[in-house]
Amino acid sequence: MPTPKRSFFERLTGAVKLEEEDTIPTLTGREKIIHGKDLLRSDRENAVSAYENEPADAELTIDMYETPNDIVIRTMVAGVKPEDLDISITRDMVTIRGTREADRTTSSDDYFHQELYWGSFSRTIVLPKEVEVEEAEASEKHGLLTIRLPKIDKNKQAKLKVRG
């Protein structure tokens, strides 16, 4: 079979076309991902951060919206105790970290499907507006974490008395 002619882009960059069954090494080179397929749960657990030699955290999905006074962040943390959550807040950023521990009473050979994520997770969110860090509140109900961050009122004024 003759070798297909490479495109200008492929010759310029050294890239190659991949067929559906070809594999691509990940950034760490420790695992292979089949082109066009999602990572399986076991692949996510074995993934390694490109920046460190530690397992990569799963990323939380969030909803973020604003009310007239607050920025509200909501995320699902079902299966995680509130005391096992670590929430760090600055005036312009929020980081949520935690670990969902797996129940190891069932052998992995006995599963038909195993899609739930177990392990560490984190998410850093850059806020669209500055917030009052000291007045922030977090609550969890039925696995839904809600973080309320009061916005800074830049029009707020205070009168100072001059001491003599």
Residue 62 sits in a domain whose CATH number is 2.60.40.790
Residue 3: what residue type?
T
Say if residue 51 is in the same domain as residue 67: no
Rounded to 10 degrees, the C-alpha dihedral 114/116/118/121 comes to: 140
Instruction: Please report whether residue 11 resides in a domain.
Output: no
Q: Which of 40, 39, 57 is nearest to 48 (CA)?
A: 57
119 shares a domain with 73? yes
Give CA–CA dist 148/154, Å, rounded. 18
Ordered per-residue pLDDT tens for the chain, 164 residues: 566 676 666 665 666 665 544 444 444 443 333 333 344 444 444 444 444 555 567 888 999 999 999 999 999 998 888 888 999 999 999 999 998 887 777 777 888 887 777 888 899 999 999 999 999 999 999 999 999 999 998 777 778 889 87
If one counts the domains in the chain, the total is: 2
Residues 72 and 38 in one domain: no
Report helix, strand or coil for 43.
helix
| Residue tagged 């509130």 (tokens) | 82
Q: Which residue has the tokens 């559906």?
A: 20
In the 8-state DSSP scheme, what is residue 12?
H
Residue-number span of the structural domain to which 41 is assigned = 16-55
pLDDT, residue 32, reads 36
For the chain, what percentages of helix, strand and coil (3-state, to nearest 5) are there? Answer: 15, 35, 55
Token pair 């994520």 is at which residue? 117
pLDDT at 114: 78
Q: What is the pLDDT of residue 92?
A: 92
For residue 129, give every residue at least 6 positions away whose Cβ sits within 8 Å of its Cβ, in sequence order, or none: 66, 71, 151, 152
| Same-domain status, 34 and 22 | yes
Residues 6+ apart with CB under 8 A from 31: 25, 43, 46, 47
Per-residue confidence (pLDDT) for residue 109, from 0 to 100: 81
My answer on whether 48 and 69 are in the same domain is no
